[in-house]
Amino acid sequence: MQERSTDRPAAVLAESAARAPAGERRVVVLTGAGISAESGVPTFRGPGGYWTSADGQGFRAMDLARASTFAREPHLVWRFYLERLEHVAKVRPNAAHLALVELENALGDRCTLVTQNVDGLHRRAGSSEERTYAIHGDLGSVRCAVGCSRTVWQIAAPARRPGPAQLDGASGAPPPGLACPRCGGWLRPHVLWFDECYDEEWFRFDSTRAAIAAADLLMVVGTSGATTLPNLVVDSADSRRVPFLVIDTEPSPFAVRASRSPHAAFLHGPATVCVPEVVAALLAGEVESR
Ligand SMILES: [Zn+2]
């Protein structure tokens, strides 16, 4: 796929620059599990996307990430999320996350980051809350499971919440650290589960659609587009002939689409290499156009 032309990404960047007056180009970046995999966060759907509970039972991650499962077995679901949270706390943002912070710092409001990742690595790298749309939520946030309020809280610090092994499921009551401060019922992870819908208040659905509708360039990093909103983002760009770049280590459906489109390119390689290169080229183009 890369043989088509080695300067194809440069042509896509030039096409995007030509769409907007100097200093007005708007960029949307969509990121998925691939960008965090290079930090050591296991992907949800890949071959390692299985989870075995403390009692040796095997579960598919996609079965645990459901409101219906949480309603029956909150201990089990929380054990899964607390393990993920402990793992994420040990890894660090990588060069791709950092390059996207640099992009936001240079473009300000002209840059929107839409992420499917719940690991919080973009936030920890330095991407701003207001310009980062966490469309699938955030592992480090919680809210009341029965919705006694709409408030989203940061999860209690490790010393003030149970560890995954301490959740034995023997009692129905939530342990300290996982109890709602208002009603005393269970808190739940503030993530979008497979049997739930996108919305604006918590998951920035309308904001994401508005950002892509105004974009002059879309950069897609490490996502195969297995869920609705990422597909909608790429469809919207493609149908409006907005130039787009797809960065992935695999020839994902988005990569195949980019390879076939006259106004897109597929960069086949690691995000930690390709994203800093694209950001540097994009910012060099910004300077030239002034
Ligand atoms: Zn509550």
Q: Identify whether residues 156 and 273 lie together within a single domain.
A: no
Q: Is 140 helix (H, G, I), strand (E, B) or coil?
A: strand
The rounded Å distance from CA 176 to ligand 1 centre is 13
Beta-carbon count within 10 A of 109 CB: 9
The rounded Å distance from CA 148 to ligand 1 centre is 4
Rounded to whole angstroms, the Cα distance separating 106 from 118 reads: 25
Q: Identify whether residues 36 and 145 lie together within a single domain.
A: no
Rounded to whole angstroms, the Cα distance separating 45 from 240 reads: 30
**Structural domains in the chain (count):** 2
Task: Quote the pLDDT of residue 60.
Answer: 76
Q: Identify whether residues 163 and 278 lie together within a single domain.
A: no
Q: Identify whether residues 105 and 147 lie together within a single domain.
A: no
Q: Identify whether residues 166 and 232 lie together within a single domain.
A: no
Task: Quote the pLDDT of residue 22.
Answer: 78
Rounded to whole angstroms, the Cα distance separating 253 from 250 reads: 9
For strands 153-154 and 187-191, give the pairing.
unpaired
Q: Identify whether residues 62 and 141 lie together within a single domain.
A: yes
Specify the residue for token string 């966060």: 41
Task: Quote the pLDDT of residue 46.
Answer: 52
The rounded Å distance from CA 73 to ligand 1 centre is 17
Sheet holding 153-154, edge to edge: 153-154, 137-144, 187-191
Q: Is 132 helix (H, G, I), strand (E, B) or coil?
A: strand
Domain stop point among 169, 191, 213: 191
* Candidate list 136, 190, 263, 268, residue with the active-site label: 136
Rounded to whole angstroms, the Cα distance separating 55 from 52 reads: 8
Rounded to whole angstroms, the Cα distance separating 165 from 210 reads: 43
The rounded Å distance from CA 205 to ligand 1 centre is 24
pTM value > 0.85: yes
Q: What is the domain-level CATH number for residue 53?
A: 3.30.1600.10
Q: Identify whether residues 98 and 84 lie together within a single domain.
A: no
CA distances from 130 to 95, 109, 111, 264 (A): 21, 9, 11, 28
Specify the residue for token string 């330095």: 126
Beta-carbon count within 10 A of 79 CB: 25
Q: Identify whether residues 142 and 98 lie together within a single domain.
A: no
Rounded to whole angstroms, the Cα distance separating 23 from 285 reads: 10
Q: Identify whether residues 269 and 229 lie together within a single domain.
A: yes
Taking only the tens place, the pLDDT of each residue in 173-191 is 899 999 999 999 999 999 9
* Catalytic status, residue 136: yes
What residues does 247 pair with on adjacent strands? 221, 267
Q: DSSP code of 199?
A: -
Domain stop point among 191, 223, 255: 191
Sign of the torsion formed by the C-alpha atoms of 203, 232, 270 and 28? negative
Specify the residue for token string 């299985």: 50
Q: Identify whether residues 204 and 266 lie together within a single domain.
A: yes
List, run by run, the mean pLDDT of 10-residue segments along the chain (290 residues): 66 94 93 93 60 60 89 91 92 98 97 96 97 97 97 95 81 89 97 95 96 97 86 93 96 93 95 97 79
Q: Identify whether residues 28 and 157 lie together within a single domain.
A: no
Q: What is the domain-level CATH number for residue 124?
A: 3.40.50.1220
The rounded Å distance from CA 70 to ligand 1 centre is 15
Task: Quote the pLDDT of residue 170.
Answer: 60
Q: Identify whether residues 214 and 270 lie together within a single domain.
A: yes
**Closest Cα partner for 192 from 92, 115, 79?**
115
Q: What is the DSSP string of 44-75?
A: SSSTT-EEE-TTS-EEEHHHHSSHHHHHH-HH
User: Which residue segment(s) compose the domain that 24 sits in?
Assistant: 1-41+92-136+200-290
Domain stop point among 191, 217, 234: 191
